Amino acid sequence: MVKRPFWIRRIEQAWSSRPLCWLQGVRRSGKTSLARMLEHCEYFNCESPRTRAQMADPDGFLGRLDGKRIVLDEVHRLENPSELLKLAADGYPATRVLATGSSTLSATRKFRDTLTGRKQVVTLTPLAGEDLEGFGGDLKRRLWRGGLPGFFLSGEPLDQEYQEWMDDYWARDIQEMFRLGNRGAFLRFVELLFAQSGGLFEATRFARDCRVSHTTIANYLAVLEATGVAWVVRPYSTRKATELVAAPKVYGFDTGFAAYFRGLEAAGDPDWGALWELYTLNELKARLPGLKTRYWRDKQGHEVDFVLQGGRGAPLVAVECKWSSRAADLSNLEVFKRRYPAARCVVAAADAGRPARLGGEARAELVSLEGLVSLLEAQAGPRAALSINPPA
């Protein structure tokens, strides 16, 4: 089992401020393995009928564990999980509870109480930069195979694995939490979204291809966002007459799924740039989970990948993601800089070493992905990455 110290630190920090940590992440992202890495914890698998029977008397169960560290894995399998977690937070404040689930609390129908003020949320993303060293450090493999640990480590073709993941997602996440109909249309939508990851979201086109209504597509997207399978990046704008203000960009949650459903092959030198952009977004979500991430596009077609703001009063940071710094084109950043002169323009390149100036009208900085995160952390202040608590 590969240790993941970055995420262990994140959980320990969450416990330092609240007794309850909700660990969420998509199916097979490694939540159970991570939970079992925590030291001095008692582990309970809530999928087990025997375990659920132990929890039929919540007070008795928690009373026996008062002051301990416990893991409640797949806690949404309980009949009334919010009752148990609320009692733990209010009645046993010395107990530290880690509860896991595939989705946000608000997406789980059994949670009548989302435990506001009682919990910290940790969202386990696909493998982040700090995970890679333990998993072998191969960036191209991470982009092509994706960041689900089992997929990344597998030496076998993954066609069947991707299809099984989709089947499990439909059966165990969608049907149990949302009970949607029309399995074929929904899974077709998911596949198309992965294939077009990072593109502007056009509901009408998806509705036509999936043979459902525009309203149904909007509902499907809301479900994917709630379950962490789609990441929606909305436009940044202060000048509605000249800039896009409505259409979001939508990314599938993982580079491996995007590569697979696009039909990309590693041997065929896939579009590393598009996968690098998604990996950059993954790193921002892992390291700065509360960061407000936008993109920018004007009506003349100029576009900047991400527009970020690291802290209150901090300048905007306009980011272009480039697989190779030699391919850096500053024209879009220059247009953005003319409209937002106080912005800081950055090119985050996979091959960047020490920070450098690229010059030009944008006065752009060339940085590595780690350099970009450090820049944003510095703007937000110390402990920013760990103190921000995104909504469940």
Each residue's pLDDT tens digit, 74-130: 988 888 888 899 999 999 999 999 999 877 655 566 566 668 888 999 999 999 999
DSSP code string of 125-180:
-S--HHHHTTTT--HHHHHHH-SSHHHHH--S--HHHHHHHHHHIIIIIIHHHT--
Query: Residue 360: which residues within 8 A CB-CB, separation 6 or more?
Result: 330, 334
pLDDT digits (tens, 9 = 90+) for 26-50: 999 999 999 999 999 999 999 999 9
pLDDT digits (tens, 9 = 90+) for 324-369: 998 888 999 999 999 999 999 999 999 998 889 887 888 999 999 9
Q: Which 3-state string (H, E, C) describes 229-263?
A: CEEEEEECCCCCCCECCCCCEEEECCHHHHHHHHC
Looking at every residue in the chain, the average pLDDT score rounds to 90
pLDDT digits (tens, 9 = 90+) for 197-217: 999 999 999 999 999 999 999
CA distance 104 to 300: 37
CA distance 131 to 370: 13
Model confidence at 318, in pLDDT bands (50, 70, 90)?
very high
Model confidence at 389, in pLDDT bands (50, 70, 90)?
very low
User: What percentage of the chain carries pLDDT values higher than 90?
Assistant: 73
Q: Within its chain, how far is the Cα of 272 from the centroid?
A: 20
Return the structure tokens found at 149: 């640990």
**Among the listed residues 267, 271, 233, the one whose alpha carbon sits nearest the alpha carbon of residue 255:** 271
Average pLDDT on 238-256 reads 89
> In this model, does residue 310 exceed pLDDT 80?
no
Average pLDDT on 166-172 reads 94
Average pLDDT on 58-63 reads 96
Model confidence at 390, in pLDDT bands (50, 70, 90)?
very low
Return the structure tokens found at 205: 């086109």
DSSP code string of 356-386:
EEEETTTTEEEE-HHHHHHHHHHHH-TTHHH
> In this model, does residue 382 exceed pLDDT 80?
no
Architecture of domain 5-124: 3-Layer(aba) Sandwich (3.40)
The domains of the chain are located at: 5-124
> In this model, does residue 386 exceed pLDDT 60?
no
Single pTM value for the model: 0.92
